[in-house]
Structure 1
Amino acid sequence: MRHILIVDDKEDHLFYLQTLFQEHGYTVETAYHGAEALVKARLHGPQLIISELFMPIMDGYTLLHYWKEDALLKHIPFIVYTETYTAPEDERLALSLGADAFILNPLDTEGFLAQVRLVQSRPTTAQPDLPKSFSNQELERFKDYSVTLIRKLHEKTLELEKANENLKKDIARHKLAEDKIQHLAYYDLLTNLPNRRLLIDRLQHTLASRARNQNYGAILFLDLDHFKTINDTKGHSVGDLLLIEVATRLQTCVREGDTLARLGGDEFVLVLEDLSEDSSQAALQAEAACNKIISIINLPYTFGDYVHLSSTSVGICLFRSQEMSVDELLKRADIAMYQAKSAGRNTMCFFDPAMQASLEARTILEMDMRLAIVEDQFKLCYQMQVDYSGKLHGAEALIRWEHPEKGLLLPNSFIPLAEETGLIVQIGRWVLETACQQIKVWENSTVMRDLHISVNVSASQFQDPNFVQQIMEMFNRHSIKPGQLRFELTESVILKNVEESVVKMLALKDIGVRFSIDDFGTGFSSLSYLTKLPLNQLKIDRRFVRNIFRNDKDAVVVQTIIGMAHNLGIEVIAEGVELEEQLEFLARHGCKLFQGYLFSNPLSVEELQMNSYSEFKIKKVSDQLGANNKALSPPFP
């Protein structure tokens, strides 16, 4: 067995094995695939074949199958080897097809030669002697056989190529799916911007590079102002369109090497790289980027027939080294952003360490407020609404928080945070429910049963699509007359969507609810919408009342409001009345109802009832004020 046929598609393998066996006295013939090996074996009759398993065109398994089916070749020993063998099934399949040996590592020279010698030493079945030369007829027969074999191999090759093509398509689809999964893992689905995960990854690399770079970087934390309003009034589809357009605009502000990401909701983060080495210059560069962003966000957005105006609050945190973690950087920029909102929105603010304490206090207050809702720590006080004689006509419900540690808290210390966090909806619902319960209690009082209660309604409550239905259900639940409840709305609440406001107000007016415009005169469009709304009352803002004798223009505004309201058939009430002179001026110009410290502080239910039973006259109150007519020092706003 000195003539060997070696089959492998790899040049380096063939060269290695050919050299090895030639050095040990063998005559070596080579083939690159099974089809070529069959043809050469029929023509030259090797005494041993050594074949790789995995090859193109015809692999080792197929070659072994044809080899053992061929009467002329099946007696020749067949050794299989592979470098890519990974499973026992490969060896079992090869041996079941008739392989005489299975070699795992052809580079193990001694092991390889030992296996060859072992196979050669085995007795073989008698096999026909191959003639040393063939007649023309025999050569022709071999030629016909080779042609048939090549045709069959060609057919097999086509099948394999088709299978390979399908496999390539499957691999391409799998790769596409993998790419999509990878994209979803690192990019925001709505805006196609990097998401929080990719942002954190890039920030980590950025911070790592700071050790080799003395330039400052900056994180700009953006939050759209009043974004919830567009979702509540126009729907989430329009809100999504706004986010997409904002993302598109922001990308025009991004330099090469910077990262713009959407954290979720209406929050975006821009990471500015390679600013100045000087902190002051770096701050100016970050500020310039912020100004550009704010300006581009302020441009109008058109969605069909709807034109929307938006703004953003931006928090900035400069960084230069790895002294802070990614989470700490984002937290600081977030704190600065909230400070920008507190400063009036549509502006920017750099992080200052003092903000940290403020945020922590805010967080504690929010947690306390959530607990207060659960533990019923709120209560209502009532400030009387009287006529010139002092007769009680109604009362405004004013919320107070009986904090277990801080004592009695006034609305201005917690209502702004409640509005920011959305807790105002739950608190507002509690106020309405409590007012209704009180009205129900007063049904049995001959003095109090006709009293109406004024309640402030927040923007978040009023803009709820189910607001009207909720109010109707509340009236049914408490079995009270809707006319005893008056809703006080600010101009800004109504102007968010005048048409929708009118629809809701008319629906509630039909069942008897009354409406008052709170702080009238402080808005920008008071006159344009006044005739459209089903109003019962205008409340003159306390700032105008306070300045009646300090500013002639304010006095004129007050007279104008009273005259206009009378012409429209709308009742007028003035809030913040503290001096008799103010009362006299207002009454002289036609104002009929008054509210303020001149008459009473906000009272408990019991105190309000006592005042309603007494012969309350303005003269008695004025006597208490003293001869100098000074205002009471109000303990409540």
Structure 2
Amino acid sequence: MNDLVTSHDVFRRLADSLSMATDETFFEQLVAALGGILGVDYVMVARVDTDASQATSLALWAHGRLVDNIRYPLAGTPCEQVNGHAPCHYPRHVCSLFPDDPMLADLDAEAYLGVPMYAPDGRPLGLVAALHTQPIDMSRHAEEVLRITAARAGAELARCESEHFHRERLLSTNRALKLLSRCNEALIQAEQEQQLLEAICQLAVDVGGYRMAWVGFARHDDDKCIEPQASAGIVEGYLDQISLSWSAQRHNGRGPAGRTVRSGEPVIIADLAKDPSFISWREMALAHGFQSMICLPLKRGGQVFGLLGLYQSTTDPIRDEERQLLCELADNLAFGIDTLRQRLAQQRIQRAVLKIASAVSARSGEEFLDQLTHHMAEALEAELAFIARIDDADRTKANTLTIVIDGQRQPNFSYTLPGALCEDVLLETECIVHDDAGKRLPVEGRDVLSWVRAYAGRRLDDANGEPFGLIGVMFAQPLHDTELVTSVLQIFAAGVAAELERQEDEARIRRLAYRDPGTGLPNRTAFMQRLDSALARADGTRVGLMLLDLNRFKDINDTLGHDIGDKVLAAVANSFSGVLVGNEYLARLGGDEFVVLVDPSDVYTITDTAERLLGSLAAPLQLDEQAFELDVSIGIAFYPDDAGSARELLKHADIAMYQAKQQDVPFRFFEPHMGAALASRLDMAKRLSAALADGSLSLHFQPQIDLTTLRLVGAEVLCRWHDPELGVVSPADFIPLAEERGMIVPLGNWVIDATCRQLAAWQAAGLVVPGQLAINVASRQFDDDQLITTLQRSCGEHGIAAGQLGLELTESGFMSDPDQAIAMTEALKTLGFGLSIDDFGTGYSSLAYLKRFAADKIKIDMSFVADMLHNENDHAIVTTIIAMARSLQMDTVAEGVESVEQAEALLALGCRQAQGYYFGKPVTGEAFAARWLMPVPIE
């Protein structure tokens, strides 16, 4: 065969071999094909290490079969010469040319041809070599065959390495994601801080695959030490044998833990054996099998208070995606710690409030103060608590009113203030000393109180804001939790101050409760009690109400000041009082508004009263050598002619007074047209009541879709109202009206019954509704103890199973009384009804309660979905809600989905269901059935 024919045949066979090679056995098939094509005894494809010192075969062909791969040093071998882009060809005597290569002697090789192997981007990867046991003269196409083969092998090897890199990257990211999810579950379930810390460390080891994990808190003492709080994994005394600080001036503060606390940023050490900052702990760490680590800061309010340390048994890099997820884990842990601490602080504050409440029951001066001081010490776990008052005769001294040490009441004494901590309290409202407080205690008690380390005091102010005393506590140990102490002392200080003032002037407090201090007239509280009483007594008689507003009084305040204005108001009150008779009751509502109650009354008598009041201001008022010309506008309304309640009567008098001002007349009687808007609302309320009675309301249905299959999984039931005169009335108008007028429960019951009736009709027509029809339940309806009875009755009457209905409860509605809501949801769930939390994220839900609700789904409010693709905060909120729901084993339903981009983003985040205009608007039952419902399949 001539060269041309031989080359053609060789390259055709090579092309056939390359096309038949598969991913799994590519290199094996390649060397087998080359062995046959070139007719040689040995063919090898090898990967060379980055330092070019070792080679590892990827496939090895020997005497017509595949053999095990080998790893061998390159020094002294012909493979060492295969570099650059030139082939390396030794047609004979290759063993004698490379006497230090034992592999050549073992193979009895005589000829060698090798070409370098490169990645498509030009990186050197290895070589392809052919060896033979006889002296041969390789034809020119042999070199070309090896070049083509090396190029194809290099591309395949680069692809495999890229896939391995991305696979490892995905595995590390998935591991971090799984760890984050499990840790979030632990955050929700944790009741105590130590329990949470230990759970997170254990999960980092069990789920995250780390060799050791620990949490440490940074102390703000002189040493700035970092104290381990919890750990898991291969610890074996490691944390006990090391001392850590976050001070940059200390040697043990220059490691990763100290740098993390100082910087507030994660610190990664890829290889502990080589990192100079870890030299102090290197030997011990390596002995425990630690090869690399990451320290993550724990922050509260922007301040670092601790760290989470994770140690690996390998030097595998921590990639960006994994680092970001671990940072999120640390942020969530910090949030969980802060939440538990706030919960604990709230519990202690609540206990303090209960202590005050129990002490308040003892309303006999000294006994009250004694009990309160005991409770204050118990609430703050303090060894000493006291209440003191500034000496009226010498304000440089204070007198204790009560003092308790170790639960025992002590004799009262006087002490000097200058230079003492109590003086700082009086000057600055509050004073807290974390340690060494004994140095600044009063000289009168310094020796007895030598054990005191920490001090906290709070000033007592009177109603005018003037200091008159203080309360305080002292501790035998340094104080760390100042937030709790501040909050509790503030509560106790308010209780003590109020009680002391009550003891001093109880009569003054009572008078202030019912009297306007500026005029001496009854105030709004006293007036409303008098008005309620008058309307309750009215039996076929009229009660007249007059609302009086001084015209242009604001000009007096603005030009002459409020002091003069107050004096003018007192003079006006005097003038009004001087013209009134026995059945006319005058009060000041506030500002420049006065009110007169005339009981009994009619048009003639109340007109006479109005004219006398107007006449009292006919002459200028003389005040501090100034004359004030005043006039007043008066609005008049009658009970029961114009109103059916005290508030409505006052409102209608106010409307009439406004009309008098607008028309510049002295007084006006209320007329119905003045309250046109009110009347319109009343008319709408009547029509809604009639609509409930005659059934002119209707239901619309909006589909709920499975985002994975795009199939119907249920629908939300929406109430609609078309009035013959008002036309289509928006739910935004008639739902609040129903709430206001007490019709929301009947309206909700109508929706329940109508929904069951529609389901029954569809069933009778052979149509099936996948999933559930979701009915919105108002908070007042949810509080109705007849709700379960109504649901069961409607289902029974129409032959509907409880599982065909879902109830949507608003977040703010069930949080008004969480314990009752928990009991109600459990009862409904037991009966088989589905339960969803509607508009989630717009109210405030305590996770402690939320995890106890027997709900199936959380509905993400449309306000977050609308901007989630453009607003990072909304996207984060949606992500968090979905993750939290998954942790609580609840499904999520996104509301207000209007685009395919939103739907795809929600599905990617793990949300499975959605509703919105993108899938379908709310439509009538007939239209809904035609578009979405399918006949029941015949078996």
**What TM-score do the two structures reach when normalised by structure 2?**
0.32
User: Relative contact order (C-alpha < 8 Å, sep 6+): which is higher?
Assistant: 1
Q: Which structure: greater strand fraction?
A: 2
TM-score norm. by structure 1 comes to 0.46
User: 1 or 2, which has the higher helix percentage?
Assistant: 1
